[in-house]
Amino acid sequence: MLMSETPPIILVVDDVPGNVDILGEILQPFFRVNFAISGKKALSIAQKDPKPDLILLDVMMPEMDGFAVCRELKASARTRQIPIIFVTSMNEMANEEIGFEAGGVDYLTKPVCPPIVLARVRTHLKLYRQKQILEEKVRERTLELQQARDVAIYSLSALAEKRDNETGDHINRTRHYVKTLALELKQIPPYSDLLDDACIELMFKSAPLHDIGKVGIPDAILLKPGKLTPGEFTIMKTHTTIGRDAIVRGERTLEVDGSTSFLKLAREVAYSHHERWDGLGYPLGLKGAKIPMIGRLMTVADVYDAMISKRVYKPPLSHEETASYILGQGGEHFDPVVVDAFRKLERRFLEIAIELTTCADERSLLEKSWKNGSSVL
Protein backbone atom coordinates (compact mmCIF):
# COMPACT_ATOMS: atom_id res chain seq x y z
CA MET A 1 0.00 0.00 0.00
CA LEU A 2 1.33 3.42 -0.96
CA MET A 3 1.66 6.08 1.77
CA SER A 4 -0.88 8.27 -0.04
CA GLU A 5 -3.52 5.52 -0.15
CA THR A 6 -6.25 5.36 2.46
CA PRO A 7 -5.96 2.12 4.45
CA PRO A 8 -8.75 -0.41 3.79
CA ILE A 9 -11.55 -0.74 6.33
CA ILE A 10 -11.93 -4.05 8.19
CA LEU A 11 -15.12 -4.79 10.11
CA VAL A 12 -14.57 -7.21 13.01
CA VAL A 13 -17.74 -8.91 14.27
CA ASP A 14 -17.66 -10.95 17.49
CA ASP A 15 -19.85 -11.00 20.60
CA VAL A 16 -16.85 -11.70 22.90
CA PRO A 17 -14.97 -8.46 23.74
CA GLY A 18 -11.69 -10.31 24.28
CA ASN A 19 -11.78 -11.72 20.74
CA VAL A 20 -12.51 -8.26 19.35
CA ASP A 21 -9.55 -6.83 21.25
CA ILE A 22 -7.17 -9.49 19.92
CA LEU A 23 -8.13 -8.96 16.29
CA GLY A 24 -8.04 -5.20 16.79
CA GLU A 25 -4.47 -5.34 18.08
CA ILE A 26 -3.41 -7.41 15.04
CA LEU A 27 -5.13 -5.28 12.42
CA GLN A 28 -5.06 -1.67 13.63
CA PRO A 29 -1.40 -0.97 12.83
CA PHE A 30 -2.19 -1.61 9.15
CA PHE A 31 -5.91 -1.00 8.60
CA ARG A 32 -8.83 1.10 9.72
CA VAL A 33 -10.88 -1.18 11.94
CA ASN A 34 -14.55 -1.00 12.93
CA PHE A 35 -16.16 -3.31 15.48
CA ALA A 36 -19.59 -4.85 16.01
CA ILE A 37 -20.61 -7.09 18.93
CA SER A 38 -23.74 -8.50 17.27
CA GLY A 39 -24.94 -9.61 13.86
CA LYS A 40 -27.60 -6.89 13.67
CA LYS A 41 -25.04 -4.19 14.49
CA ALA A 42 -22.73 -5.58 11.82
CA LEU A 43 -25.49 -5.37 9.20
CA SER A 44 -26.18 -1.77 10.14
CA ILE A 45 -22.50 -0.76 9.94
CA ALA A 46 -21.97 -2.54 6.60
CA GLN A 47 -24.75 -0.54 4.97
CA LYS A 48 -23.24 2.82 5.88
CA ASP A 49 -20.52 4.82 4.12
CA PRO A 50 -17.68 4.21 4.03
CA LYS A 51 -18.42 0.51 3.58
CA PRO A 52 -16.00 -2.08 4.93
CA ASP A 53 -13.57 -3.55 2.41
CA LEU A 54 -13.54 -6.89 4.25
CA ILE A 55 -15.41 -8.46 7.17
CA LEU A 56 -14.05 -10.84 9.82
CA LEU A 57 -17.18 -12.57 11.08
CA ASP A 58 -17.56 -14.80 14.12
CA VAL A 59 -19.73 -17.86 13.55
CA MET A 60 -21.17 -18.55 16.99
CA MET A 61 -23.12 -15.50 18.15
CA PRO A 62 -26.44 -15.23 20.04
CA GLU A 63 -29.66 -14.12 18.31
CA MET A 64 -28.09 -14.11 14.84
CA ASP A 65 -25.15 -16.35 13.98
CA GLY A 66 -22.46 -15.54 11.43
CA PHE A 67 -24.00 -17.66 8.68
CA ALA A 68 -27.28 -15.72 8.89
CA VAL A 69 -25.41 -12.42 8.87
CA CYS A 70 -23.42 -13.51 5.81
CA ARG A 71 -26.57 -14.52 3.93
CA GLU A 72 -28.16 -11.12 4.55
CA LEU A 73 -25.02 -9.31 3.44
CA LYS A 74 -24.92 -11.37 0.24
CA ALA A 75 -28.61 -10.69 -0.40
CA SER A 76 -28.03 -6.93 -0.50
CA ALA A 77 -26.76 -5.34 -3.71
CA ARG A 78 -24.87 -2.81 -1.62
CA THR A 79 -22.85 -5.36 0.38
CA ARG A 80 -22.83 -8.59 -1.61
CA GLN A 81 -19.36 -7.99 -3.05
CA ILE A 82 -17.62 -7.49 0.32
CA PRO A 83 -15.37 -10.51 1.10
CA ILE A 84 -16.25 -12.27 4.35
CA ILE A 85 -13.80 -14.39 6.34
CA PHE A 86 -15.37 -16.53 9.05
CA VAL A 87 -13.61 -16.77 12.39
CA THR A 88 -14.36 -19.99 14.26
CA SER A 89 -12.98 -22.37 16.88
CA MET A 90 -11.42 -25.68 15.88
CA ASN A 91 -14.42 -27.75 16.98
CA GLU A 92 -16.70 -25.76 14.64
CA MET A 93 -14.82 -26.65 11.45
CA ALA A 94 -17.55 -29.14 10.49
CA ASN A 95 -19.61 -26.09 9.52
CA GLU A 96 -17.05 -24.96 6.97
CA GLU A 97 -19.16 -26.07 4.00
CA ILE A 98 -22.15 -24.10 5.32
CA GLY A 99 -20.01 -20.98 5.50
CA PHE A 100 -18.83 -21.25 1.91
CA GLU A 101 -22.39 -21.90 0.72
CA ALA A 102 -23.49 -18.76 2.61
CA GLY A 103 -20.93 -16.72 0.67
CA GLY A 104 -17.80 -16.68 2.81
CA VAL A 105 -14.40 -16.68 1.08
CA ASP A 106 -12.20 -18.15 3.81
CA TYR A 107 -11.92 -19.36 7.42
CA LEU A 108 -9.67 -18.42 10.33
CA THR A 109 -9.52 -20.64 13.41
CA LYS A 110 -9.32 -19.58 17.04
CA PRO A 111 -6.98 -18.98 18.71
CA VAL A 112 -5.88 -16.84 15.81
CA CYS A 113 -2.28 -16.58 14.64
CA PRO A 114 -1.38 -12.92 13.87
CA PRO A 115 0.80 -13.61 10.78
CA ILE A 116 -1.89 -15.87 9.31
CA VAL A 117 -4.63 -13.31 10.02
CA LEU A 118 -2.64 -10.59 8.25
CA ALA A 119 -1.72 -12.85 5.33
CA ARG A 120 -5.31 -13.98 4.75
CA VAL A 121 -6.71 -10.47 5.08
CA ARG A 122 -4.15 -9.00 2.68
CA THR A 123 -4.68 -11.78 0.15
CA HIS A 124 -8.46 -11.32 0.05
CA LEU A 125 -8.18 -7.53 -0.04
CA LYS A 126 -5.89 -7.88 -3.04
CA LEU A 127 -8.29 -10.27 -4.77
CA TYR A 128 -11.21 -7.95 -3.98
CA ARG A 129 -9.35 -4.97 -5.46
CA GLN A 130 -8.40 -6.93 -8.59
CA LYS A 131 -12.03 -7.95 -9.01
CA GLN A 132 -13.13 -4.31 -8.68
CA ILE A 133 -10.61 -3.22 -11.30
CA LEU A 134 -11.73 -5.96 -13.69
CA GLU A 135 -15.40 -5.08 -13.22
CA GLU A 136 -14.65 -1.41 -13.85
CA LYS A 137 -12.84 -2.29 -17.07
CA VAL A 138 -15.81 -4.40 -18.15
CA ARG A 139 -18.18 -1.50 -17.41
CA GLU A 140 -15.99 0.90 -19.36
CA ARG A 141 -15.78 -1.46 -22.31
CA THR A 142 -19.52 -2.08 -22.25
CA LEU A 143 -20.16 1.67 -22.20
CA GLU A 144 -17.80 2.17 -25.14
CA LEU A 145 -19.62 -0.49 -27.15
CA GLN A 146 -23.02 0.97 -26.28
CA GLN A 147 -21.88 4.46 -27.27
CA ALA A 148 -20.44 3.17 -30.54
CA ARG A 149 -23.73 1.39 -31.27
CA ASP A 150 -25.76 4.49 -30.46
CA VAL A 151 -23.60 6.73 -32.66
CA ALA A 152 -23.77 4.25 -35.56
CA ILE A 153 -27.56 3.95 -35.27
CA TYR A 154 -28.14 7.68 -35.04
CA SER A 155 -25.75 8.43 -37.90
CA LEU A 156 -27.34 5.81 -40.15
CA SER A 157 -30.82 7.08 -39.29
CA ALA A 158 -29.77 10.66 -39.95
CA LEU A 159 -28.40 9.73 -43.38
CA ALA A 160 -31.68 8.03 -44.28
CA GLU A 161 -33.72 10.98 -43.06
CA LYS A 162 -31.58 13.53 -44.88
CA ARG A 163 -33.07 12.37 -48.17
CA ASP A 164 -36.42 13.96 -47.34
CA ASN A 165 -35.68 16.12 -44.31
CA GLU A 166 -32.58 18.27 -44.53
CA THR A 167 -32.50 19.29 -40.87
CA GLY A 168 -32.50 15.82 -39.32
CA ASP A 169 -34.76 17.15 -36.56
CA HIS A 170 -37.43 14.50 -37.08
CA ILE A 171 -35.53 11.54 -35.62
CA ASN A 172 -34.34 13.58 -32.67
CA ARG A 173 -37.79 14.93 -31.81
CA THR A 174 -39.65 11.66 -32.30
CA ARG A 175 -37.38 9.69 -30.00
CA HIS A 176 -38.02 12.27 -27.25
CA TYR A 177 -41.77 12.10 -27.86
CA VAL A 178 -41.62 8.30 -27.56
CA LYS A 179 -39.69 8.47 -24.30
CA THR A 180 -42.06 11.08 -22.87
CA LEU A 181 -45.11 8.95 -23.68
CA ALA A 182 -43.46 5.80 -22.31
CA LEU A 183 -42.57 7.44 -19.00
CA GLU A 184 -46.19 8.54 -18.59
CA LEU A 185 -47.59 5.11 -19.51
CA LYS A 186 -45.16 3.40 -17.12
CA GLN A 187 -47.42 4.63 -14.31
CA ILE A 188 -50.60 3.14 -15.80
CA PRO A 189 -51.56 -0.58 -15.61
CA PRO A 190 -51.33 -2.71 -17.70
CA TYR A 191 -48.70 -0.64 -19.51
CA SER A 192 -46.65 -0.49 -16.30
CA ASP A 193 -46.06 -4.24 -16.76
CA LEU A 194 -44.63 -3.66 -20.25
CA LEU A 195 -42.47 -0.63 -19.53
CA ASP A 196 -39.56 -0.32 -17.14
CA ASP A 197 -36.63 2.11 -17.18
CA ALA A 198 -34.40 -0.26 -19.18
CA CYS A 199 -37.09 -0.88 -21.80
CA ILE A 200 -37.84 2.84 -22.12
CA GLU A 201 -34.16 3.62 -22.65
CA LEU A 202 -33.96 0.97 -25.39
CA MET A 203 -37.06 2.45 -27.03
CA PHE A 204 -35.43 5.88 -26.96
CA LYS A 205 -32.30 4.51 -28.64
CA SER A 206 -34.05 2.33 -31.23
CA ALA A 207 -36.73 4.89 -32.21
CA PRO A 208 -34.45 6.66 -34.77
CA LEU A 209 -34.52 3.47 -36.87
CA HIS A 210 -38.22 3.76 -37.64
CA ASP A 211 -37.71 5.32 -41.08
CA ILE A 212 -34.44 3.61 -42.02
CA GLY A 213 -36.25 1.82 -44.86
CA LYS A 214 -36.69 5.11 -46.75
CA VAL A 215 -33.21 4.57 -48.18
CA GLY A 216 -34.88 2.10 -50.54
CA ILE A 217 -37.60 4.45 -51.79
CA PRO A 218 -36.91 6.21 -55.14
CA ASP A 219 -36.41 9.99 -54.97
CA ALA A 220 -39.21 10.53 -57.49
CA ILE A 221 -41.63 9.17 -54.91
CA LEU A 222 -39.98 10.20 -51.65
CA LEU A 223 -39.50 13.80 -52.78
CA LYS A 224 -42.61 14.20 -54.90
CA PRO A 225 -44.15 17.64 -54.18
CA GLY A 226 -47.71 16.48 -54.81
CA LYS A 227 -50.02 13.68 -53.75
CA LEU A 228 -48.80 10.17 -54.46
CA THR A 229 -50.68 7.95 -56.89
CA PRO A 230 -52.01 4.64 -55.54
CA GLY A 231 -49.09 2.85 -57.17
CA GLU A 232 -46.55 5.27 -55.72
CA PHE A 233 -48.11 4.98 -52.28
CA THR A 234 -47.83 1.19 -52.50
CA ILE A 235 -44.10 1.60 -53.09
CA MET A 236 -43.80 4.17 -50.29
CA LYS A 237 -45.37 1.73 -47.84
CA THR A 238 -42.59 -0.75 -48.48
CA HIS A 239 -40.17 1.38 -46.41
CA THR A 240 -41.49 -0.46 -43.34
CA THR A 241 -40.55 -3.84 -44.81
CA ILE A 242 -37.26 -2.57 -46.24
CA GLY A 243 -36.23 -1.28 -42.81
CA ARG A 244 -37.19 -4.46 -40.99
CA ASP A 245 -35.48 -6.66 -43.61
CA ALA A 246 -32.26 -4.61 -43.46
CA ILE A 247 -32.03 -5.20 -39.71
CA VAL A 248 -32.77 -8.91 -40.12
CA ARG A 249 -30.10 -9.26 -42.82
CA GLY A 250 -27.60 -7.55 -40.58
CA GLU A 251 -28.40 -9.96 -37.76
CA ARG A 252 -27.97 -13.00 -40.00
CA THR A 253 -24.82 -11.79 -41.73
CA LEU A 254 -23.09 -10.97 -38.45
CA GLU A 255 -24.64 -13.98 -36.69
CA VAL A 256 -26.10 -11.78 -33.98
CA ASP A 257 -28.80 -13.03 -31.63
CA GLY A 258 -31.92 -11.26 -32.92
CA SER A 259 -33.87 -12.03 -29.75
CA THR A 260 -32.05 -9.35 -27.74
CA SER A 261 -34.31 -6.58 -26.51
CA PHE A 262 -32.67 -3.85 -28.57
CA LEU A 263 -32.76 -5.68 -31.91
CA LYS A 264 -36.33 -6.83 -31.28
CA LEU A 265 -37.41 -3.23 -30.68
CA ALA A 266 -35.45 -2.03 -33.71
CA ARG A 267 -37.30 -4.49 -35.98
CA GLU A 268 -40.64 -3.66 -34.41
CA VAL A 269 -40.32 0.10 -34.72
CA ALA A 270 -39.25 -0.11 -38.37
CA TYR A 271 -42.03 -2.56 -39.25
CA SER A 272 -44.99 -1.39 -37.16
CA HIS A 273 -44.90 2.40 -36.90
CA HIS A 274 -47.59 2.77 -39.59
CA GLU A 275 -50.01 0.25 -38.12
CA ARG A 276 -53.33 1.66 -36.88
CA TRP A 277 -55.36 0.74 -33.81
CA ASP A 278 -58.41 0.05 -36.01
CA GLY A 279 -56.44 -2.37 -38.23
CA LEU A 280 -56.37 -0.12 -41.31
CA GLY A 281 -52.64 0.52 -41.23
CA TYR A 282 -49.73 -1.21 -42.94
CA PRO A 283 -47.82 -3.40 -43.70
CA LEU A 284 -49.72 -6.15 -41.82
CA GLY A 285 -52.98 -4.46 -40.86
CA LEU A 286 -52.41 -5.31 -37.20
CA LYS A 287 -55.22 -4.29 -34.88
CA GLY A 288 -55.34 -3.14 -31.26
CA ALA A 289 -52.99 -4.74 -28.77
CA LYS A 290 -51.45 -6.91 -31.49
CA ILE A 291 -49.44 -3.83 -32.50
CA PRO A 292 -46.10 -3.84 -30.62
CA MET A 293 -45.89 -1.28 -27.84
CA ILE A 294 -43.14 0.71 -29.51
CA GLY A 295 -45.21 0.86 -32.70
CA ARG A 296 -48.17 2.31 -30.80
CA LEU A 297 -45.97 5.02 -29.31
CA MET A 298 -44.06 5.78 -32.48
CA THR A 299 -47.16 6.22 -34.61
CA VAL A 300 -48.35 9.07 -32.35
CA ALA A 301 -44.88 10.60 -32.27
CA ASP A 302 -44.44 10.21 -36.02
CA VAL A 303 -47.83 11.67 -36.95
CA TYR A 304 -47.44 14.61 -34.57
CA ASP A 305 -44.03 15.47 -35.94
CA ALA A 306 -45.00 14.98 -39.58
CA MET A 307 -47.96 17.32 -39.20
CA ILE A 308 -46.03 20.17 -37.52
CA SER A 309 -43.17 19.84 -40.04
CA LYS A 310 -42.65 21.43 -43.42
CA ARG A 311 -42.39 18.93 -46.28
CA VAL A 312 -41.97 19.24 -50.04
CA TYR A 313 -45.65 18.42 -50.44
CA LYS A 314 -47.10 20.58 -47.61
CA PRO A 315 -46.49 23.50 -45.21
CA PRO A 316 -46.28 22.91 -41.44
CA LEU A 317 -49.54 22.72 -39.52
CA SER A 318 -50.03 24.40 -36.16
CA HIS A 319 -49.69 22.57 -32.87
CA GLU A 320 -53.39 23.14 -32.24
CA GLU A 321 -54.43 21.50 -35.51
CA THR A 322 -52.07 18.61 -34.96
CA ALA A 323 -53.04 17.96 -31.33
CA SER A 324 -56.73 18.21 -32.21
CA TYR A 325 -56.31 15.50 -34.86
CA ILE A 326 -54.49 13.15 -32.48
CA LEU A 327 -57.00 13.63 -29.67
CA GLY A 328 -59.83 12.86 -32.07
CA GLN A 329 -58.27 9.61 -33.26
CA GLY A 330 -58.20 7.55 -30.06
CA GLY A 331 -59.53 4.08 -30.85
CA GLU A 332 -59.20 4.69 -34.59
CA HIS A 333 -55.71 5.66 -35.74
CA PHE A 334 -54.16 5.47 -32.26
CA ASP A 335 -54.23 3.40 -29.09
CA PRO A 336 -56.78 5.28 -26.91
CA VAL A 337 -54.62 4.90 -23.78
CA VAL A 338 -51.67 6.46 -25.60
CA VAL A 339 -53.95 9.29 -26.74
CA ASP A 340 -55.00 9.87 -23.11
CA ALA A 341 -51.31 10.10 -22.22
CA PHE A 342 -50.78 12.58 -25.06
CA ARG A 343 -53.66 14.64 -23.70
CA LYS A 344 -51.71 15.13 -20.45
CA LEU A 345 -48.44 15.72 -22.29
CA GLU A 346 -49.64 18.01 -25.07
CA ARG A 347 -47.71 21.05 -23.83
CA ARG A 348 -44.61 18.92 -23.25
CA PHE A 349 -44.75 17.77 -26.89
CA LEU A 350 -44.88 21.41 -27.97
CA GLU A 351 -41.95 22.25 -25.69
CA ILE A 352 -39.85 19.41 -27.16
CA ALA A 353 -40.75 20.50 -30.68
CA ILE A 354 -39.61 24.07 -30.03
CA GLU A 355 -36.38 22.99 -28.32
CA LEU A 356 -35.39 20.61 -31.12
CA THR A 357 -36.53 22.47 -34.23
CA THR A 358 -33.97 24.27 -36.40
CA CYS A 359 -36.25 25.25 -39.31
CA ALA A 360 -37.15 28.92 -38.78
CA ASP A 361 -40.66 28.69 -40.26
CA GLU A 362 -41.59 25.64 -38.20
CA ARG A 363 -40.12 27.08 -35.01
CA SER A 364 -41.89 30.41 -35.45
CA LEU A 365 -45.27 28.71 -35.76
CA LEU A 366 -44.60 26.55 -32.69
CA GLU A 367 -43.41 29.49 -30.62
CA LYS A 368 -46.59 31.35 -31.50
CA SER A 369 -48.64 28.51 -30.04
CA TRP A 370 -46.46 28.48 -26.92
CA LYS A 371 -46.74 32.22 -26.34
CA ASN A 372 -50.50 32.08 -26.76
CA GLY A 373 -50.68 29.30 -24.20
CA SER A 374 -52.51 27.33 -26.85
CA SER A 375 -54.16 24.08 -25.91
CA VAL A 376 -56.94 22.08 -27.45
CA LEU A 377 -58.09 20.81 -24.05
Q: Do residue 39 and residue 109 come from a single domain?
A: yes
344-361 pLDDT, tens digit per residue, is: 999 999 999 999 998 888
Q: Per the domain annotation, does 377 fall within a domain?
A: no
Q: Do residue 232 and residue 365 come from a single domain?
A: yes
- pLDDT-based confidence at residue 114 (cuts at 50, 70, 90): very high
Q: Compute the average pLDDT of residues 298-309.
A: 95
Q: Compute the average pLDDT of residues 283-308.
A: 96
Residue ranges making up the domain that contains 85: 9-135
Q: Do residue 178 and residue 58 come from a single domain?
A: no
Q: Compute the average pLDDT of residues 333-351.
A: 96
Number of domains in the chain: 2
pLDDT at residue 313 in the model: 81
pLDDT at residue 2 in the model: 42
48-70 pLDDT, tens digit per residue, is: 999 999 999 999 898 899 999 99
Q: Pick from 84, 119, 135: which residue ends a domain?
A: 135
Better-predicted residue by pLDDT, 85 or 315: 85
Q: Per the domain annotation, does 158 fall within a domain?
A: no
Q: What's 90's domain CATH number?
A: 3.40.50.2300
Asked if residue 4 has pLDDT above 50, the reply is no
Asked if residue 203 has pLDDT above 90, the reply is yes
9-40 pLDDT, tens digit per residue, is: 999 999 999 999 999 999 999 999 999 999 99
Distance between CA atoms of residues 271 and 284, nearest Å: 9
pLDDT at residue 142 in the model: 79
Asked if residue 166 has pLDDT above 60, the reply is no
Q: Do residue 332 and residue 198 come from a single domain?
A: yes
Better-predicted residue by pLDDT, 93 or 5: 5
Q: Do residue 249 and residue 210 come from a single domain?
A: yes
Asked if residue 164 has pLDDT above 70, the reply is no
Q: Compute the average pLDDT of residues 41-48.
A: 94
pLDDT at residue 167 in the model: 53
Asked if residue 210 has pLDDT above 80, the reply is yes
